[in-house]
Amino acid sequence: SVSFGLQLPWRFSPYIVARGGIGALATNRFGEDLAYLARSLGAEAGLDCRVTRWFVVTPALGYAALAIDDAYWHTFTARLSVGF
């Protein structure tokens, strides 16, 4: 997968990350070996909030679209990270 992002270094630092990926999926289904091409494309946006010099809280929202042949999934994420 490949990620590309941008972040500005402030006390409240917004960021956005674009992600894309491609890969192979190998499986055995009903006794038959199968291989699929899996791909994904998505983005995540959040805000790094420096509470103190050594304590950061980061809320973020994300979206990704995943596909294998003609099957598609859409995922949404809400994340709260705490860092020291």
pLDDT tens track for 42-76 = 999 999 898 887 888 999 999 999 999 889 999 99
Listing from the earlier edge strand, what are the strands of the sheet with 12-29?
2-7, 12-29, 32-52, 55-68, 71-83
The pLDDT assigned to 63 comes to 98
Paired residues of 63 in beta bridges: 43, 76
Give the C-alpha distances (Å, rounded to integers) separating 17 from 57, 59, 62: 17, 14, 9
Give the model confidence (pLDDT) of 7-52 as tens digits.
666 788 888 999 999 999 898 988 899 999 999 999 999 998 988 8
Cα separation of 16 and 19, whole Å? 10
Residues 38/67, Cβ–Cβ less than 8 Å: yes
